[in-house]
Each structure stands twice: as C-alpha cells, then as structure tokens.
Amino acid sequence: MPNQRDIARALGVNQATVSLALRGDRSVSERTQRLVRETAARMGYRPNAYVSSLMTHIRSGRLPSEEGVIAVLVEARSEREWHRIESYKIFHDGVVQRASELGFRIECFFLRAPGMSDRVIDRILDARGIQAVVLAPPYRGNRALDIRWERYACVGMGHSWEVQQFDRIANDHAQNVLLAFDELSRLGYRRIGMLLHDEAAVGGKGLKWLAGYLQAQNRLPQAQRIPLFTSGGENGNLQKFKRWLHQYRPDVLLAITGWEKAYLDALGLRVPEDIGMACLVRPRQSIFAGIDEKNEIIGATAIEFVASQIARNEFGVPQHPKLTLIDGRWVPGASVMQQPGTHRDELSKDCSSRRPARKKHA
C-alpha cells in the first residue's frame, strides 16, 4: 500500500507538504491540496487511523492516556446509587470485563456527584488525554451536556429521543416481547395479556415493548387478542385492573420486573396456579420466568464500538448515527407452567372450574 513518501515522490515535493495537504492545512495552497488528494486517491492511499489520531494529539500538545482509559458518564451521585438498579450493575460489569480484554481501563464519572458537572468532567478528560466516552444507562440524551464532543469517540446506551444522536447500543424490546410470546405459547398459554406503566406504554423515549406486543397480538385470532393494560405505576388503579382482568380473562401476564404481581396478590390470585406471569426485564435470581436482557453484552458491545471509533479516528457526533439492538434470552421460571389442554382459549366455558380464585375476586 502506498504511503505519504510515495505520494511526495510522485509529485516531486517533500513528505511534509503531503502531510499538511492531506490535513487541509492552510499553509498549503488549495491547488496543491487538491493535487495531493487526487494523487493519493489515484494511488490508493489510505491513512492509518491510529497513527493519525496519535499525531493529532502530539501536535496539539495533548498525548492520549497511556493507560487507554475509557470514561463512563453516569447520571447518578455515586456508584452505589447507580447500582441500585440491577441491570445497570450488570451493564457495568460487562463494560469492565470487555475493556480489560481489549487493554483499556474504565473510570466512571458521576454527573450528580458533589462538585461534579459536565464542564468539570470535560476539563478532566481533556487534561488527561482521555479520548473515549460511554454514556451509561439511564441514557437521557446529550444535548444538555456542555461537553466538546468533537474531542471524543462516544457511544450512548439505550434509547434517546433527541435529534442529536451518538451511535447507540440498546435492548431490542420489541423482539424480546415476541420471544416471550412464543415461549408462553409453547407452554400452552393462549390468552396472553401485558401490563405496562403509562410511561413505558407511551414509548416516547424509544421503548418498544408496546410495538412488540401489538405485533404479537396481530398474529392471533381476533377472539384471543387482549388490549394492553396500562397503570400509573406500582400504586396504579387496582379496580381498573380488576375490570380488565374480568373482561379479557388472560391466562398469563407479561409484566416488566415483577412488582406487578402485587395486583394479583391483592385479588387473591395464585401464580402460576390461577394465572401465569413472566417478566420482560427479569431480575436475576428471580422466581419469575422471563427475558434476561443480557445487559453485560450491551456493555461489552459499547466498549467494542468506542474502541473501533478510536482506531478509525472518528470523533464527535456522527452524521449518520447507528443503533445496534441486542436480543434477550428466555429464562424459565416457577411463575409459569405447562398447560394441560389445548383449549385454554375457551375460558368462557371452564374458567370457573379452573380458576375459583379469579371467579371469586373478579
């Protein structure tokens, strides 16, 4: 492969002129810059991204971190607060492990920590020559952060709703719902309902559980389709849920993490004897069946993305941001069981004989 010396030799100029021309330096005339670029393209010259990145930092007087540090920006006060959400801790573990395998070290910066701010973090990263940033979940976007993004390779986690986007890695919510639907169908469940709190149901922040549910329901006969139940959260309207349950009589419920079981407990319904239940964000070590979102894989993929951006010398907000979706994995659990017959969709005929608790409370 030709190098800058070959281009200089072909044009009868020195290598420094070629280097400056390829960087668009104003000390080289536009005519010479155009001639150098045309000759480079004709000869098949390709710049080495790593060397280009390194030389850029040397010229600016800022050497990249020798330790290969990747900064993880977290919208929390501390690691302890952040790890209260199990999926965030699993994500962090995946980040640390993959970074170590690729020769990087992870350092977390907490935006809500005392004395910390986006501007302070920007100055720290710049002073230490840190080139890579991962915006950790919960990813609430980047528009409000006063950071000079052009200095950094960066990737965001999850879904955001703003125009200014980085490349992002996220859970494939819709596919996870379809996976759960298929697994519950294999167990013999025929009337599959879903509960979402209002914010998750709206989907304005990129949450796609509702899209997956509608797609799954559309595959069913009309008589088996059940509309989504939405609540205001853990203290949602129990009577509203009771009416929905009585009207549509699902034999299994898809929920988010399992707190929704409180509705069933309040109505005296047993899981899984009276009604099955599965989680779309299944806590590990849980009794529930459901989807393991594989957040450690999401974390590992984020590191791979940002490391490749550094190698390609790609910094700042991309012109065409990419979204990579990671499928979850179905995990069996005690909250569902194999159904005995093939006619559980005919609940109107035998609901009282099989579900005395439901008949009593619904």
DSSP output for 309-345: HHHTT--SS-SS--EEEE--EEE--TT----S-S-TT
User: CA–CA distance from 36 to each of 25, 70, 80, 312 (Å)?
Assistant: 12, 35, 55, 22
Choice between 165 and 55, residue whose per-residue pLDDT is larger:
165
pLDDT > 80? residue 95: yes
Q: What is the DSSP letter of 108?
A: E
Please tell me the predicted confidence (pLDDT) of residue 50: 46
The angle, 0 to 180 degrees and rounded to 10, between the axes of the packed helices 295-311 and 49-60 is 70
- Smallest Cα–Cα separation from 299: which of 206, 205, 170? 170
CATH 3.40.50.2300 location in the chain: 69-171+297-326, 173-293+330-361
Q: What is the mean pLDDT of residues 94-116?
A: 93
pLDDT in tens, 5-42: 899 999 999 988 988 888 777 788 989 999 999 999 89
Cα angle for residues 45, 47, 52 (degrees, 5° grid): 160
- Smallest Cα–Cα separation from 312: which of 153, 143, 88? 153
Choice between 279 and 353, residue whose per-residue pLDDT is larger:
279
Separation CA 340–CA 88 (nearest Å)? 38
% of the chain at pLDDT higher than 90: 56
Q: What is the mean pLDDT of the chain?
A: 85
Band of residue 2 on the pLDDT scale cut at 50, 70, 90: confident
CA dihedral sign, ordered 126, 301, 103, 320: negative
* Main-chain phi, psi angles of 146, to 5 degrees: -85, 75
Please tell me the predicted confidence (pLDDT) of residue 353: 39
Please tell me the predicted confidence (pLDDT) of residue 362: 36
Query: CATH classification of 69-171+297-326, choosing from 3.90.650.10, 3.40.50.2300, 2.40.50.140, 3.40.50.410?
Result: 3.40.50.2300
Separation CA 18–CA 87 (nearest Å)? 50
Polymer length in residues for the chain: 362
pLDDT > 60? residue 352: no
Band of residue 160 on the pLDDT scale cut at 50, 70, 90: low
Contact 302, 156 (CB under 8 A): no
Which of the residue ranges 16-20, 65-69, 84-88, 256-260 would you say has the lowest mean pLDDT?
Answer: 65-69
Contact 40, 65 (CB under 8 A): no
User: CA–CA distance from 18 to each of 48, 208, 344, 352 (Å)?
Assistant: 15, 50, 75, 84
Please tell me the predicted confidence (pLDDT) of residue 236: 57
pLDDT in tens, 195-252: 988 777 765 566 789 999 999 999 999 888 999 999 875 555 889 999 999 999 999 9
Contact 230, 219 (CB under 8 A): no
pLDDT in tens, 250-265: 999 999 999 889 999 9
**Greatest extent of the chain over all pairs of C-alpha atoms, in Å:** 94
CATH superfamily, region 173-293+330-361: Response regulator (3.40.50.2300)
Which of the residue ranges 272-276, 318-322, 334-338 would you say has the lowest mean pLDDT?
Answer: 318-322
User: CA–CA distance from 80 to each of 77, 84, 110, 195, 293 (Å)?
Assistant: 8, 7, 11, 30, 21
Q: What is the mean pLDDT of residues 171-184?
A: 96
Choice between 48 and 91, residue whose per-residue pLDDT is larger:
91
Q: Which residues pair with 194 in a beta bridge?
A: 254
pLDDT > 90? residue 59: no
Choice between 55 and 152, residue whose per-residue pLDDT is larger:
152
> Helix or strand or coil: residue 46?
coil
* Entry pTM: 0.74
